[in-house]
Structure formats: C-alpha cells, structure tokens
C-alpha cells in the first residue's frame, strides 16, 4: 500500500464522477469510491487501485505485483491524473469569486499522454458516452489482456496503433479521416514528433498539434489541458463557453479570461461546471 497526500479541500465526488463518465471499459472503472485501471510501463503491466481517504487527505494506492518495479512512476502518474500537487488556496486567490462555490475542484490529468491524445481525437463531435465507447472499441481491438487480472486489458501502445489498418479502425465506428488521424498521432508518438511531456512553450506546443491531420484548435487545447495538464488553457471556441459568454466574440472572451491567468484551466472547469454562470457586466 502506498500513500499520496493532497492539500484540502478536494472535491473527490466530482473528480471520480468526471473520470467515471469517461471510463474506458476493460481499461478502467470507478466503483465504490475507488478508481481502478490497468497500466503498462517499460514492459511491466498490472492493475492500479486508488481510493481517497478524506479524513487523512491521503490517496491510498495499491499496485499489483507486476507494477511493483515501476511503483515510483505509477505514483507520479497518479499524482498527475488527480492533480495532487495543486495548491487550492493559490488557485482560489487567483480565481476569486469564480472559484468560491467549488474550492475543491481539480484539473483532471491523465495516466498516459498518448492515451489521452487518442481519447481527445475520438471525443470530437460526439457525446462523452460515445467517446468512451469508441475508445473502448479501440482498446478491445488492439489492447492486450492482463493474464493476472481477468477482464482487464492494457490500453494499446503507440507502436500498436501506428501499424493499424485505417479501414479496420473505421470499422470500429469512426470516420476514416479520424482513423487516419489516430494512426498519425501514434506514428508521431513513436518518432518523437508528439510531445509526451509538457513543452516549455505550451502555446507553441498547441500550435504544433494543430499541424497534425484531424486536430484543430479545440482538440489541441483539450489535449494540452489534460495530456500535459497545462494550467493556463482557455477554450473561447468551446460550445459551452460560447453559451456562457453569450453576445461576446471569441476574442472578447479570451480577453475577459485574462483576469484568471495563470490558472485559466481551472477557471474553464469552474465555468463549465457552474450552472447558470455568466460574466460580470461592465
């Protein structure tokens, strides 16, 4: 058993609900207040179980035997996924009134940036549920079962998807261009073109992603938000953001959001998940 600590407050009900709605069948599940998933790293594979203990502000982590040799890496990735390094007081001070209602909101990261890239592409123009289903289809088709954990599969690696037949991917329920975008993403991860760690200049990194086929500004920004856990991303072109900022152009929305720098990613989450929020009238 391993323990990871966080600084309260932390809205675990929201975080587990967010991850549960996006859970990829066979790879991960959220049940009874726990997050459970398969994971592979450097040839080691197994299952991770993470359960928060609010009383001690501690995340209790269990790794199956196969992951013990890479325990430190697994814990680092869990800290990213759950945003455990966040200082909610610092973020709250920057957000002001926007963050007062939900001071425990955290920025969901990811266990694997390449996996998050696949999820971002498959999430384009479909519901959250459909995105999870499509991702599960890809995982079931190309992932490898865990022998010591029946029912679990490891998410396919970049190498596995780089060699996929685009028509075989299309048959899983996606447009051919999206299948080709997945393959290009996988090839880019293999050859080093896709940054799997946060670049020094996130804005330039987002621009680079937009040169990939099938990746526009929204997808690139969303990947930066979760794949790199960039803390200062805002999506003025997002459908819900446009609704929240009714009557404002994306440029006006972008300027309005500057007040929340360098924590605009957290501001974005609060706006997304605060029903009826609207900007202050000048």
Which 3 state secondary structure label does DSSP give 26?
A: coil
Angle at 109 between CA 203 and CA 158, to 5 degrees: 80
Strand partners, 154: 144
Structure tokens at 210: 């937009």
Structure tokens at 212: 């990939």
φ and ψ at 61, to 5 degrees? Answer: -120, 130
Please report where in the chains the tokens 């502000």 appear, as a residue: 57
Instruction: Quickly count: other Cβ atoms within 10 Å of residue 129's Cβ.
Output: 10
Asked if 52 and 163 touch (Cβ cutoff 8 Å), the reply is no
CA–CA separation, 123 and 133 (whole Å)? 10
238 catalytic per annotation: yes
Show Cβ contacts of residue 178 under 8 Å, excluding neighbours closer than 6 positions.
121, 122, 124, 169, 214
Please report where in the chains the tokens 């300027």 appear, as a residue: 255
Number of continuous H segments (helices) and E segments (strands) in the chain:
13, 7
Which 3 state secondary structure label does DSSP give 30?
A: strand
CA–CA separation, 257 and 252 (whole Å)? 9
Q: Which of 83, 112, 232, 238 is the catalytic position?
A: 238
Active site members: 238
């Amino acid at each position: 058993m391993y323990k990871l600590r966080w600084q309260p407050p932390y809205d675990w009900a929201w975080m587990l609900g967010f991850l549960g709605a996006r859970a990829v069948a066979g790879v991960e599940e959220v049940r009874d207040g726990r997050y459970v998933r398969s994971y592979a790293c450097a040839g080691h594979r197994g299952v991770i179980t993470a359960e928060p203990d609010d009383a001690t502000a501690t995340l209790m982590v269990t790794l199956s035997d196969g992951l013990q040799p890479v325990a430190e890496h697994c814990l680092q990735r869990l800290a990213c996924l759950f945003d455990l390094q966040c200082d909610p007081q610092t973020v709250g001070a920057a957000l002001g009134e926007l963050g007062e209602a939900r001071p425990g909101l955290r920025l969901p990261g990811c266990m694997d940036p390449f996996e998050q890239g696949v999820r971002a592409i498959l999430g384009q123009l479909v519901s959250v549920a459909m995105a999870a289903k499509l991702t599960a289809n890809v995982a079931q088709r190309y992932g490898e079962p865990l022998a010591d954990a029946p029912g679990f599969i490891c998410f396919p690696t970049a190498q596995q998807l780089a060699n996929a037949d685009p028509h075989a991917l299309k048959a899983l329920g996606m447009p051919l261009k999206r299948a080709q975008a997945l393959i290009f993403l996988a090839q880019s991860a293999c050859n080093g073109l896709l940054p799997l760690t946060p670049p020094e200049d996130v804005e330039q990194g987002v621009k680079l992603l937009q040169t990939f086929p099938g990746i526009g500004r929204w997808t690139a920004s969303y990947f930066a938000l979760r794949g790199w856990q960039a803390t200062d991303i805002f999506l003025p072109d997002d459908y819900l953001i446009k609704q929240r900022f009714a009557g404002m152009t994306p440029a006006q929305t972008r300027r309005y959001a500057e007040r929340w720098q360098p924590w605009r990613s957290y501001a974005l989450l609060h706006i997304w998940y605060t029903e009826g929020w609207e900007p202050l009238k000048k």
